[in-house]
Structure 1
């Protein structure tokens, strides 16, 4: 289920550089919960996470490249215009074979912002949706809203098991980190992309609306997944 997220503005911050910046956000659609294993299986035949466990567990061990190829494949399956234009080498190594696609460094990808297909949220869209009009570090008491190291039993959990935020979005904090479209800091970290939200193995201080993590776009690890976004049709 996709939730309509209203437009607005959000102020992002980075503790490493002590920098903050405000971004205007247009209305968009965002999945009510992270992509599940069942959802991933509708498009793929080989899942990076090995496919162990129930279908409502988050799809994890998904690289950024896996995520953008999944978005394009799902868009085509539903008759939507793919949001991403990938190099031939990256597009041909589709999600069905589990390959890495492009080199993760210099491969060029273009986001068609007029496309109505599935995509990753921008970092600003992610934080705007996570906060859902709240102003604190979290949209509720941590144990009520998130699976983290203190309550997860050090394992992943089915989506939707904690209380949603005021806009009806589940697991925005905890359970799995979620890829965003944005580069983290290309001048310092090159092709590294942004991850948001914290995961089931993270301490409480990592499960906050403002926390930023970075990783190489080919990374696959058991506490990283994705959440689908879409731009509304004109």
Structure 2
């Protein structure tokens, strides 16, 4: 893992292109994995038999909820304090059959212990700061050099670390697979939907930009959606 931003806290502007709203978030230094979680790491933590032929592929087809539970499991494995407390609540039957223009209810309650030293998902703002790595454009390099996307992936997922990293040593921040973030997208409109970032191997160039924010249900899983682990910065 690497500490980002290396220069100390920064102010990052986020933009919601759907509403035209923008806002500034203060991002303190934190630690972020240099790659998304691979199938090898997933199998190691889960105690399942590893397949060496796919060991370096991003782990995909997992929901936001599964990513949260994995973070806690890896924390426990490494002797760290788990970050997330998970409980369930009952969703009234009437809310389950909601109109399409109403937010999706959620029967999971997840709280984040910000004093814990374990692994977690990056926030929306943290992810954007890490992706840009001090650059100011939509991408930190030429897309074919840094990312797998629709134009060069051949319609398939690829191992991590095959493309050039960004200036802070983070691989595949764009393209490859979308990455789950901690944040809700817009709870007033979309309820429990969480933010995903980065673009994937089947996406066009437009999706593979540092400022692109998408959303999906926390129970959804796709073959181009994974995640990357973060931690609070370790105090000296």
The equivalent of 1:162 in structure 2 is 163
TM-score for both structures, normalised by structure 2:
0.88
Aligned Cα root-mean-square deviation (Å): 1.9
CA distance in 2 between counterparts of 1:204 and 1:223 reads 15
1:134-153 per-residue CA deviation (whole Å, 9 max, x = no partner) reads: 11000000000000000000
1:81-138 per-residue CA deviation (whole Å, 9 max, x = no partner) reads: 000011179xxxxxxxxxxxxx971321100001000000000000000000111000
The equivalent of 1:3 in structure 2 is 2
The equivalent of 1:65 in structure 2 is 65
CA distance in 1 between counterparts of 2:57 and 2:41 reads 10
Question: Which secondary structure does the structure 2 equivalent of 1:32 belong to?
Answer: coil
C-alpha contact 1:156 1:200 (8 A) present in aligned 2: yes
C-alpha contact 2:155 2:201 (8 A) present in aligned 1: yes
Q: Which runs of 4+ in 1 moved over 4 A?
A: 50-53
Count of residues in correspondence between the two structures = 218
C-alpha contact 1:174 1:200 (8 A) present in aligned 2: yes
1:5-49 per-residue CA deviation (whole Å, 9 max, x = no partner) reads: 1231211111111111111001000000111000101111469xx
The equivalent of 1:212 in structure 2 is 213
CA distance in 1 between counterparts of 2:30 and 2:47 reads 29
Question: Which secondary structure does the structure 1 equivalent of 2:163 belong to?
Answer: coil
Larger radius of gyration: 2
TM-score for both structures, normalised by structure 1:
0.89
Residue ranges of structure 2 left out of the alignment (5+ in a row): 90-103
CA distance in 1 between counterparts of 2:53 and 2:189 reads 38
Equivalences for residues 27-46 of structure 1 within 5 A: 27-45=29-47
Equivalences for residues 168-187 of structure 1 within 5 A: 168-187=169-188
